[in-house]
Amino acid sequence: MQAGADLNAASIFFGPLIAIRKWLRYRELIFQLTSREISHRYRGTYLGVIWSFITPLLMLLIYTFVFSTIFQARWGDYIHPGQGMPQFALTLYAGLIPFVVFSESVNRASTVILGVPNYVKKIVFPLEILPMVAVGGILVHSLISIGILIVLAYVFTGTGSYTFFLLPLVYIPLIFLCLGLSWFLAALGVYARDIRNGVEILVQMLMFLSPVFYPVNMVPKQLRTVLGINPLTSILDNFRRVLLWNEYPDWILWGIWTAVTLLLALLGYLWFMRTKDGFTNIL
């Protein structure tokens, strides 16, 4: 029992160092696979990468029309007189970008190993980098959406956010969250094939339980604590702060959720590494 406990402790403390060393060794492979992931996304289509611009713009137009025109939704003090529709659209879009990264990452995760059985059976391959590749490709597409947002913000408001340079820091807890869940779901998806359906339902529910379409101050006070335990609440808010509102992130919440999601990423990685030896018996 003592030896087992010591082994678990060693995994927790030295696992990240071993993983980082391994990722550095495979950095070229990760880069190549991520590039292929991006190029394959629209291979065979007539418009190609242009869909990366069309899709988010169409989503933005539909959501803006429904919530700001039909439901007359507003975003509090951040909406200035005469700019209600454009600023609501930008605010909605700024929150939608990180949520799409999260939703695509976790929806993809449960099949990322199932989709490449040859990697599992026939060759020696570092399977743990596959969730990283999937998340990396999704992050690159999110940067395209960020570029669209910056251009639209300048067109509608004539100014930009001076805190934009903090965006890489705001991405950190989102990346840890996506990686941790991706490693966990990628391994679990091999053993429980129907996990994908459950994840899709939970993501759809989470879309309306996160402040994507509404500000936190619109939620009844007795429910804000529940909303606060959702890491996406802080992540979405900080994206809007640095991209649109020219504000610094909430550093306290950023620090808390960065630590929590880092732990989640570590646990997800350890879970994947502990369970991957059984993949060949299932696939």
Q: How far apart are CA 132 and CA 186, in angstroms?
A: 11
Distances (CA, A) of 91 to 127, 132, 148, 163: 38, 29, 13, 16
Which token pair is 87?
Answer: 């600023």
Structural contact between residues 137 and 41, judged by C-beta atoms closer than 8 angstroms: yes
Q: How far apart are CA 11 and CA 244, in angstroms?
A: 41
Residue 115: Cβ within 10 Å count: 11
Structural contact between residues 176 and 258, judged by C-beta atoms closer than 8 angstroms: yes
Per-residue pLDDT 10s for the chain (283 aa) are 444 444 444 444 455 556 667 677 778 888 888 888 777 766 655 565 677 677 777 877 787 777 667 766 667 655 444 445 677 788 888 999 999 999 999 999 999 998 888 888 766 788 888 999 999 999 988 998 898 888 888 887 777 788 999 999 999 999 999 999 999 999 999 988 888 889 999 999 999 899 988 888 888 888 888 888 999 999 999 999 999 888 999 999 999 999 999 999 999 999 998 998 888 887 6
The reported pTM is 0.86
